[in-house]
């Protein structure tokens, strides 16, 4: 049975131990300060005699240290303090935030995940109101700023019944309980600070329904710095004060929508003029006059307007392609031209790995392939062969 030193002193980062058993990927020690994966908290990393510890897991009463190369005998262990401190800040911050949500709106925490950038709690409520999120965040931080004592210890099931636990303890043997003075009391096997002040602060960074994303301590400082940099950048781009950013972005969005509408109207007008010019210059190929053209940086909407303009005249066929965004193809014919363009489109789109459809007289589609020119050649050849031109 491995003696777990991190329970007695979560701030311990250096210790001496002895290898008692080797495993296929690591070693078991008689005592360790390395925390294993469990309870939503990732494992510690560090070294044993200078050899990297890349994983830590429980196997029954033992803790296996996954090492980069074999170690044996007496070992000196060093725990990565930055990682340990980060995990303690996030995990204990979760305890405070979870209790705060219970007190503010009665929302119990159903699960917790400590991620590499942000952490999350899933609340039992279907949705949490923004005002409750703010109140819970404030309450959790008040407990942090008051620097309350954090006590932890093991209790029998009978002893645990006398503690003000937030949730019923798991069934079984000894139960480890982490208690914040006059606030949270929870069964937990993770590493926690001696006082709440070591959490630094708790910051909610996003809410999706009942899922709350948050950061604590140094992660919160890094997140806040990133936000500040983004705000300064936005202020410089918009030439406005911080308090005017939202209004400035709103005005910019409105201007962009109006500009896009004007551009769309201009492109439709341009397509109309181009349609007349292309139709007038189209060569005769027997029974029809065919317009084949590839347009750079034009999308399917432009091709649709252009094609409809071309086939306003009798005896016209339009075979058009564009490379704006995804590759696109549009096929159209005048009412007096007898051909179903839909099967032609499917063969042409195969050249660009695309999909599409439409009516016998007009159809279009697109794909991610780049050989739009090849697709147009296939369409032209199929159309002319079908018309006997």
The tens place of each residue's pLDDT in the chain, 389 residues long, gives 899 999 999 999 999 999 999 999 999 999 999 999 988 899 999 999 999 999 999 999 999 999 999 999 999 999 999 999 999 999 999 999 999 999 999 999 999 999 999 999 999 988 899 999 999 999 999 999 999 999 999 998 888 888 889 888 777 788 999 999 999 999 999 999 999 999 999 999 999 999 999 999 999 999 999 999 999 999 999 999 999 999 999 999 999 999 999 988 888 888 888 888 898 888 888 788 999 999 988 888 889 989 999 999 899 999 999 997 789 999 999 999 999 999 999 999 999 999 999 999 999 999 999 999 999 999 999 999 988 76
Burial of 364 (0-12, 13-18, 19+ CB in 10 A): buried
Regarding whether 227 and 139 lie in a shared domain, the answer is: yes
Regarding whether 182 and 162 lie in a shared domain, the answer is: yes
Using alpha carbons only, give the angle 209, 86, 19 rounded to the nearest 5 degrees: 125
Regarding whether 215 and 97 lie in a shared domain, the answer is: yes
The string of DSSP codes covering 159-204 is HHHTS--SSPPPSSS-EEEEEETTS-EEE--S---SBGGGG--EEE
Query: For position 50, which CATH number holds?
Result: 2.40.30.130
Which pLDDT score is estimated for 263? 87
By residue range, what is the domain housing residue 207? 85-236
Cα separation of 322 and 373, whole Å? 9
Regarding whether 193 and 317 lie in a shared domain, the answer is: no
Regarding whether 139 and 153 lie in a shared domain, the answer is: yes
Query: For position 329, which CATH number holds?
Result: 3.10.310.40
3-state secondary structure of 240: coil
Which pLDDT score is estimated for 30? 97
Boundary of a domain, candidates 236, 263, 283: 236
Helix residue ranges per DSSP H, the chain = 5-8, 81-105, 130-145, 157-161, 217-238, 245-281, 300-310, 342-349, 372-387
Regarding whether 96 and 21 lie in a shared domain, the answer is: no
Boundary of a domain, candidates 36, 52, 79: 79
Query: For position 202, which CATH number holds?
Result: 3.30.980.10
Cα separation of 191 and 198, whole Å? 12
Structural domain contains residue 252? no
Regarding whether 219 and 112 lie in a shared domain, the answer is: yes
Instruction: Report the predicted TM-score, pTM, of the whole model to 2 decimal places.
Output: 0.74
Domain count within the chain: 3
Identify any residues that bridge with 108 across adjacent strands, giving them in sequence order. Answer: none
Boundary of a domain, candidates 58, 79, 100: 79
Regarding whether 110 and 58 lie in a shared domain, the answer is: no
């Amino acid at each position: 049975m491995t003696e777990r030193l991190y329970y007695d002193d979560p701030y311990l980062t250096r210790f001496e131990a002895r290898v008692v058993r080797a495993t296929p990927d690591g070693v078991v020690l008689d005592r360790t300060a390395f925390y294993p994966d469990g309870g939503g908290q990732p494992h510690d990393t560090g070294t044993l005699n200078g050899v990297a510890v890349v994983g830590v897991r429980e196997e029954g009463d033992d803790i296996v240290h996954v090492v980069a190369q074999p170690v044996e005998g007496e070992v000196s262990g060093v725990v990565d303090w930055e990682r340990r401190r980060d995990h303690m800040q996030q995990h204990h911050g979760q305890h405070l935030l979870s209790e705060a949500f219970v007190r503010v709106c009665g929302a119990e925490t159903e699960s917790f995940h400590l991620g590499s950038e942000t952490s999350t709690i899933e609340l039992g409520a279907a949705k949490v109101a923004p005002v409750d999120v703010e109140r819970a965040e404030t309450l959790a931080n008040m407990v942090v700023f008051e620097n309350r004592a954090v006590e932890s210890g093991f209790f029998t099931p009978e002893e645990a019944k006398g503690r003000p636990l937030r949730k019923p303890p798991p069934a079984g043997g000894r139960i480890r309980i982490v208690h914040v003075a006059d606030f949270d009391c929870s069964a937990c096997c993770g590493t926690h600070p001696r006082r709440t002040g070591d959490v630094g602060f708790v910051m909610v960074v996003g809410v999706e329904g009942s899922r709350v994303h948050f950061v604590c301590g140094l992660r919160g400082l890094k997140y806040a710095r990133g936000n500040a940099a983004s705000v300064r950048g936005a202020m410089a781009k918009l030439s406005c004060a911080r308090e005017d950013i939202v209004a400035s972005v709103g005005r910019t969005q409105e201007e962009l929508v109006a500009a896009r509408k004007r551009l769309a109207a201009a492109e439709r007008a341009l397509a109309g003029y181009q349609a007349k010019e292309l139709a007038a210059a189209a060569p005769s190929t027997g029974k029809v006059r065919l317009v084949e053209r590839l347009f750079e940086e034009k999308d399917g909407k432009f091709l649709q307007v252009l094609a409809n303009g071309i086939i306003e005249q009798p005896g016209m066929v339009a075979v058009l392609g564009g490379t704006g965004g995804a590759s696109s193809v549009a096929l159209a014919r005048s009412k007096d031209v007898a051909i179903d363009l839909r099967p032609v489109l499917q063969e042409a789109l195969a050249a660009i790995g695309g999909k599409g459809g439409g009516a016998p007289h007009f159809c279009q589609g697109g794909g991610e392939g780049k050989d739009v020119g090849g697709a147009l050649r296939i369409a032209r050849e199929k159309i002319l062969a079908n018309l006997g031109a």
